[in-house]
Structure 1
Amino acid sequence: MLLPACLGILIAFCLGFVHPFKSTQEAAPKFPLKISPNGRHITDNNGVPFLMVADVAWQMLRRLSYNEAVQYMDIRKSQSFNTFLVQLLPMLPNQRNFNKVSPFINNDITKPNKAYFDYFGKIIAAARERNLVVGIVVSRKSWNVIFDTHSETAWKEYGTYVGKAFAGYSNVIWIVSEEEYQSAAQFGAIAEGIRSVSEGQILASLNTCSPTNLNENPSNFSSLKFIIPDSTVTPSEYAALANWQKNSAEATLRPFLIANSEFPREITDQSSLIRTQAYQSIMSSAAGFCHMSTIKNFNPTWKVNITKDGAEYIHELVKILKGIPWEYMQPDKPDLLPDSIDKADIGIVSLSNKRMCMMYLPESRPVKVDLKYLHGSEFGAVWYSPRTGRRWDGGKFSTAEQVVVQPPDSQPGWDWILLIGSKQ
């Protein structure tokens, strides 16, 4: 991959070789979003890289009034989220939206209820005013009992209807789920209907599977993939899933996002694990991160829990990543790490020209780094705290050698980001 000439200046800035300059407010993305030419990440319509930071808001339409939906969006935007995912249909066929309106007349998918979809359109418009992307999940397992009684023509008509209903909103991406619970014919028919009337909008697929149950049916191909692990996925299985995606990303050339695994209890401090999984996702070459907590169901305590469901660290993640050329960094072999334990535990991404690498340490400990695997003669290191976003100088090294670098604070259980790069 060719890297821009100005990248050297950015590397030097990130590593402290030059004095920081005053940052300017980030420009609003130009919608609709699109897939980057190399098929590895997402950009806005002007080709500017778009780090997707998504939140799962499955039951928004059923549980929230319009004003509450706006309140939710304002909170998530303040936490640096730029996307949220919503189930278009209620959890069960006998349920309705907040206004007590059903999506279909008599549960007949060929007879959509305009008032139901108009309510969502109002919410999407409010999201657009806030430069937020809305991922619309148009199908779900619990509705198979209804959809399976209809023909392929009806499935396509449904896709065409919802596609036309929201095609005018440039901040929309489409998500057809769930690959492992839905026939290829149904997936294809709904997707075909959407594509026929929503030119230019991304169409994604959604998996809710564990690492041992991945379905890569080529007939269900989409341009973006969301992986939403279920509640049975353990932290070790999540790490395996991220590693599997990292190893397969080069072959599939399709951007993906992995959500953190689900936590069943309403009030439990899972912030540390959510933060770790966010970085595991990013270090696996994901196009961003998808955050999931019990907020997705909008239970009565959601307004309290939304400030302490792990999302408090998302702002720091975004701040760190947007301070480096993240869109040019890809997973790397652990040759930089001579120690076998470090090789297994520490994630590494680097630039293709080997002038910069980033490591995620899930715990605080000294790390030996073999600099001969990086290109350059003068190196600098910077430590970042994923908990606070604070930055520390990690030292400078003038020759290609093995060095031991120590996190600024050795508190047990603290995780760290280590950035190493060359000046020239």
Structure 2
Amino acid sequence: MLVTLLLASRPANADPVYPLTVGPTGRYLVDQNGTPFLMAGESPQSMIGNLSLDEASVFFADRVSHGFNTVLIDLLCAAYTGCRGDGTTLDGIAPFLATLGDPTPNGTTAWDLTTPNPAYFARADAIVQLAAQYGLLVLFDPIETGSWLEVLQVNGTARARAFGQFVGDRYRSQPNIVWFHGNDYGPPHADLSQANDDLVTAVALGIRDVDASHLHTVLFNTNTNLPPVLSTDDTRWLPIIGLNAVYTYQAATKPYSPPPLGRRASLRMRSSGL
């Protein structure tokens, strides 16, 4: 009943028609009607792990009432983004059904990414669908790297790509998504090596194996003096991304030449949220 009452006050014609795509100039996003879309976002990254559906509805209603149209949400959440080290929800639902050994050095459970728990992903589905009912775009991080890069290292590229395929297939028909990879991905938080990039891009490529309709981006360093800063600074990501992200405004004002590999709009982050 709470969800119904909160949704009843929203005009249906106010919502963008998702999925988003890059506009004709390559410098902004548009919806399926060609209407420009300017992100005004909030960063409830730990929502799937820490909120009930009723609590999520209250949050979404509040953000929409203040003019926000975008939320950044982690599909998997552990200690780095404010959840528990085992990645369980607040009411104890684990994201996977099997592990591959002891916890990783950062304390995250070494889950086998090829054993998704249906109950956990049903919870995630409900959150994303609820956001859609409020007209919100979800910047959806399939496996944020702050906690989960070490889990990817345990799993290897084949399991990482299989997980991407699972996630991509599950959400291919959910229109209000832009895939958002990384998360403070780079020094000092992470070693941006070829081996690590192979793992993180494997998830993105797995999604693209089954889902060609959603844009992708990746967020690298919080320190604008330590490259990579822009998503396009790492050439391994150029065939994947359609949206260029940067953590904060300073880097976005620096002159740079976008690579001639298709159109990319730009997404700018700041430390207090999106």
Which TM-score band applies after superposition, normalised by the shorter structure? 0.7 to 0.9
On the 8 A contact 2:21/2:31 being kept in 1, the answer is yes
Provide the residue aligned with 2:3 in structure 1: none
Q: What count of residue pairs does the alignment treat as equivalent? A: 230
Q: Distance in 2 between matches of 1:151 and 1:202?
A: 25
Residues 1:258 and 2:268 are matched in the alignment:
yes
Cα offsets for 1:194-248 (capped at 9, x unmatched): 112222111111124221012111112211133335xxxxxxxx5x32322xx22
Residues 1:52 and 2:39 are matched in the alignment:
yes
Amino acid at match of 2:55: E
On the 8 A contact 1:187/1:220 being kept in 2, the answer is no
TM-score for the superposition, normalised by structure 2: 0.77
Provide the residue aligned with 2:237 in structure 1: 220
Q: 1:131 to 1:249 in 2, by over 3 A?
A: farther
Shift of 1:255: 1.9
Amino acid at match of 2:66: Q
Identity of aligned residues (%): 26
Q: Distance in 1 between matches of 2:76 and 2:246?
A: 19
- For 1:119-198, what aligned pairs fall within 5 Å after superposition? 119-139=123-143, 140-178=145-183, 179-180=185-186, 181=190, 182=192, 183-198=196-211
Shift of 1:78: 0.7
Cα offsets for 1:246-301 (capped at 9, x unmatched): x2265676322222234xxxxxxxxxxxxxxxxxxxxxxxxxxxx35xxxxxxxxx
TM-score for the superposition, normalised by structure 1: 0.51
- For 1:335-346, what aligned pairs fall within 5 Å after superposition? none
Residues 1:241 and 2:254 are matched in the alignment:
no
62, 66, 77: which one pairs with 1:75?
62
Shift of 1:25: 9.7
Q: Distance in 2 between matches of 1:174 and 1:99?
A: 26
Cα offsets for 1:56-102 (capped at 9, x unmatched): 11111121111000110000001111110011111244231133111
Structure 1's unaligned 5+ residue stretches are 1-23, 230-237, 263-290, 293-424
Shift of 1:27: 4.3
1:205 aligns to what SS in structure 2?
strand
Q: 1:81 to 1:114 in 2, by over 3 A?
A: same
On the 8 A contact 1:210/1:241 being kept in 2, the answer is no
Structure 2's unaligned 5+ residue stretches are 1-10, 80-84, 100-110
Shift of 1:38: 2.1
Q: 1:250 to 1:184 in 2, by over 3 A?
A: closer
Q: 1:25 to 1:90 in 2, by over 3 A?
A: closer
Q: Distance in 2 between matches of 1:79 and 1:133?
A: 15
- For 1:271-310, what aligned pairs fall within 5 Å after superposition? 291-292=273-274
Q: 1:72 to 1:189 in 2, by over 3 A?
A: same
Amino acid at match of 1:104: F
Q: Distance in 2 between matches of 1:81 and 1:218?
A: 32
Shift of 1:185: 1.0
Amino acid at match of 2:28: H
Q: Distance in 1 between matches of 2:64 and 2:256?
A: 32
Amino acid at match of 1:110: T
Cα offsets for 1:112-139 (capped at 9, x unmatched): 1111111011111111111111111112
Q: Distance in 2 between matches of 1:194 and 1:126?
A: 22
Amino acid at match of 1:194: I
Q: 1:95 to 1:28 in 2, by over 3 A?
A: closer
Shift of 1:176: 1.3
The structure with the larger Rg is 1
Amino acid at match of 1:54: G
Q: Distance in 1 between matches of 2:265 and 2:256?
A: 11
Amino acid at match of 2:134: R
CA RMSD of aligned residues (A): 2.2
Amino acid at match of 1:148: Q
